[in-house]
Structure 1
Amino acid sequence: MSETTSDIGDGRAAPAFARREIWGVLAMSLGPVLAAFVLSGLILLLMQVNPFSYYGYVFGRGLFSPTGVQATLTRMGPLLLLAASLIVAFRAGIWNLGGDAQFLVGAVFAAAWTPLMVAHVPVWGALLAGMAVSAGFGALWGLVPAFLRAYQGLNEIITTLMMNFLGLSLASVLVKLVFLDPATTVPQTRTLPVEDRLPTLGGTTISSGLLIGLVAVLAVHFVMTRTAFGLRLRVVGANAGAAVHAGLAVPALTVAVFAISAGFAGLSGGVAILGQYGNVRADWNPAYAMSVVPLVFLARFNGFAAIGFVALFSILSIGSESAARRMGVPNYFTLVTVAILLIVLGLAEYWGARRRQKAGV
């Protein structure tokens, strides 16, 4: 009897195959990250910057500095909510690329109303209401592309990107004209006092928005992998035609996915304002949503893996601010790394698809 036959017979082939699958997933997830770091390092060399010194400052600030670690964990809260938003949409086969506008719309309304509510209701009530407002307006902003996709068959990539431009402009107009703080010369909303913001954790400066983000990602992961509702969404994402033949209400599920996804994105904006920034200035756009897209793909839409990749991005974004001051590298160089990561990820997916095609899988 051959070794292969023996392995199958005694049950050792299945674990070996599972191990190969795990290593394959790790290679497809971590390989692009390492390649992006190497290519970014080459760009730094062309800029006459020592990449080892740069990455040393980045990770030193984001991982080993107490203030840097706290800033990293605080930033993770809104990013995790955006990851939850994208996981819901992508698992259902929907490309919600309007997260930045949904984030900003939610942030603006939360920043405008919460300082007014604090004066009339308990702080915890104002914060809960502010988060509900941000999630609600984020969800409303996602309904236009939702109905266009569900009932008109329009490509949501185009409509969500168009709604992004409209949302960014609307947020700026609202700040400058409708929600302008009359007490300031800089166009911005009223500022929520520090003592009225989301509570911090354990005597640190870490916003409790981190816990909200963690709960959201883990809840989405559970719903999408362990519930009947999540199964229906995955079926729609895998094959909408088959879902129709199976009797699923595809248009209604499409609208529901958009509302949930956009609601999480809006809540992300609310948590960023209520836990960290306190107000929204005109023309402010951190562009978090587009930065989280490659992280969710690297995580293969897995909630636990998404937490790790969001943590890595937070370390990079916080650490790059320190490295920029010390080494003269532009503060947006992290976005260059993310762009390279997207390109490498696309190439890796193409290579993986070609391998599966050749293998007849």
Structure 2
Amino acid sequence: MTETQVPQASTEDIGSVQRPENPWKRAAITSLGPIVAAVVLSGLILLAFGVDPIAYYGFVIEKGLLSSLGLQQTLTRMAPLLFLAAGLIVAFRAGIWNLGVDGQFLLGAVGAAALAPVLVETMPGWLVLLLGFLLAGLIGAAWSVIPALLRAYQGVNEIITTLMMSFLGVSIANALVKLVFWDPNTTVPQTRTLPVADRLPRLFDTTISSGVLWALLAILAVHFVMTRTAFGLRLRTVGANPRAATHAGLSVPLLTVAVFAISAGFAGLAGATEILGVNGNIRTDWNPAYGLTIIPLVFLARFNGPVSIILIFFYSVILIGSESAARRVGVPQDFRLILVGMLMIFLGLAEWLDTRSRKRAG
């Protein structure tokens, strides 16, 4: 009686078996990798111009994170960025490129800045703030109507239309400050100023605007809706496969318009947060251009709300800390834009490499 021969697996056979992908390794490569590469390359640029990159980044961390006042400013700066991120997550998960958030942001800010100082003379402060936020959200949503209708019913690429509307919105916002809402008591064109006492309350005994709490709730609510509700599933289905969504009985044009309105509405709320919580007014030609700088962070977070919060926190540290670091080491304050630009380049490269490796594995 012969023994049963059990075939032995060769080394080649074992090597040909595909191991399951490690999600943490992929996240490190596609998210942390671009950050590290952007920081290193930007540091080399500083070094090439005779600036110590260690000193620069050290001042950024010290003034934006480790000092009490810097940390409070960092948390306050997060508020409009979180609102913008919430709107972008909705749009990107639904397969829509809303690149007009800067125009929506500024128009919403102008609406809140024009309304609040007038109403505060006759209404309770809490009601003025509420109406200011509502108006800003509605203005932001209204500014997305044209790109939304063109995309929903004519198939026009929203990248072009939203960028054009953003440029027009920024120009109109500046014109409104100069021609319509200019405070006659000032020599520099700006809107009337909302008194500090009537702005969003501060948290405890700090300078942190309570707007950051509302922004945190907004982005967490968006994350929950997009990942745990039927409405979020509909939007993701439209973004992943519009034809399949149509066959499933979903109204793709209506959902497309809804996505534009929600995303742009959050951009308007971001503008209101900046005015009603921090600045109190708008000066002519003011444009922080938060929108196009927050897009790479949302992509780095893979449209994930909690991860976006973490990345926006560190980006806010850079925004606040770089202002002091630039003065200390003698570089332009806008050097942080080089860092953001590098981040976008490496993000695109990491995405391309990840897509290529997945195709090979498949």
Q: Using structure 1 for the length normalisation, give the TM-score.
A: 0.95
Question: Deviations along 1:167-205, whole A, 9 cap, x unmatched?
Answer: 010000000001111100000000111111000001100
Number of the residue aligned with 1:84: 86
Alignment of 1:47-86 (within 5 A): 47-86=49-88
Cα displacement string for residues 282-336 of structure 1 (whole angstroms, at most 9, x for unaligned residues) = 1110000111000000000000000011001100010000011111111011111
Q: Which residue in 2 is equivalent to 1:301?
A: 303
2: distance between equivalents of 1:47 and 1:216?
42
Residue aligning to 2:335: 333
The structure number with the bigger radius of gyration is 2
Counterparts of 2:191 and 2:109, CA distance in 1? 10
- How big is the shift at 1:359? 1.1
- Cα pair 2:116 2:128 within 8 Å, conserved: yes
- Encode CA deviations 1:122-157: one digit per residue, 9 max, x unaligned: 000000110111111001001110011001110000
Distance 1:317 1:356 in 2: 35
Q: Which residue of 1 aligns with 2:179?
A: 177
Aligned amino acid, residue 157 of structure 1? I
- 161, 164, 169: which is aligned to 2:163? 161
After superposition, residues 170-209 of structure 1 pair within 5 angstroms as 170-209=172-211
Tell me the secondary structure at the aligned position of residue 205 of structure 1.
coil
Q: 1:321 aligns to what? A: 323
Instruction: Give the counterpart of 1:256 among 255, 258, 266.
Output: 258
CA deviation after TM superposition for structure 1 residue 22, in Å:
2.3
Alignment: residue pair count:
349
Q: What is the DSSP-based 3-state SS (H/G/I as helix, E as strand, rest coil) of the residue aligned with 1:206?
A: coil
Shift of 1:241: 1.1
Cα RMSD for the two superposed structures: 1.5
Q: Please report how far the alpha carbon of residue 247 of structure 1 lies from its aligned counterpart in structure 2 after TM superposition.
A: 0.9
Counterparts of 1:33 and 1:343, CA distance in 2? 10
Partner of 2:270: 268
Aligned to 1:344: 346
Find the counterpart in structure 1 of residue 154 from structure 2: 152
Match for 2:158: what amino acid? E
Identity, % of aligned positions: 63
The 3-state SS of whatever aligns with 2:204 is coil
- The secondary structure found in structure 1 opposite 2:333 is coil
- Deviations 1:71-114, CA, capped at 9 Å, x for gaps: 00000000000000100000000000000000000000100000
Alignment partner, residue 107 of structure 1: 109
1:357 offset after TM fit, Å?
Answer: 1.1
Letter in 1 for 2:236: R
Matches within 5 A, 1:281-296: 281-296=283-298
Distance 2:28 2:283 in 1: 41
Q: Which residue of 2 aligns with 1:10?
A: none
Secondary structure (helix, strand or coil) at the match of 1:33 reads helix
Q: Distance in 2 between matches of 1:197 and 1:324?
A: 30
Structure 1: unaligned runs, 5 residues or longer: 5-12
1:208, 1:23 → 2: CA distance? 37
Whether the 8 Å contact between 2:29 and 2:350 is mirrored in structure 1 is no
Counterpart CA distance in 1 for 2:62 and 2:139 is 38
> What is the distance in 1 between the residues matched to 2:203 and 2:210?
6
| Residue 17 (structure 1) shift | 3.8
Tell me the distance in 1 between the aligned counterparts of 2:58 and 2:342. Answer: 20
- Residue 27 of structure 1 and its aligned partner are, at CA, apart by 2.4
Residue 23 of structure 1 and its aligned partner are, at CA, apart by 2.3
Unaligned runs of 5+ in 2: 1-5, 10-16
Instruction: Report what 2:41 is aligned to.
Output: 39
1:7 is matched with none
Within 2, Cα distance between the matches of 1:343 and 1:22? Answer: 22
User: Which residue type is aligned with residue 149 of structure 1?
Assistant: R
SS at match of 2:58: helix
Normalising by structure 2, we get a TM-score of: 0.94
For residues 326 and 187 of structure 1, the distance between their equivalents in structure 2, rounded to whole angstroms, comes to: 32
Q: Secondary structure at the match of 2:95?
A: coil
For residues 167 and 103 of structure 1, the distance between their equivalents in structure 2, rounded to whole angstroms, comes to 9
Q: Alignment partner of 1:331: what SS?
A: coil
Structure 2 counterparts to residues 2-13 of structure 1, below 5 A: none
Q: 1:8 aligns to what?
A: none
The equivalent residue for 2:12 is none
Equivalent position of 1:280 in the other structure? 282
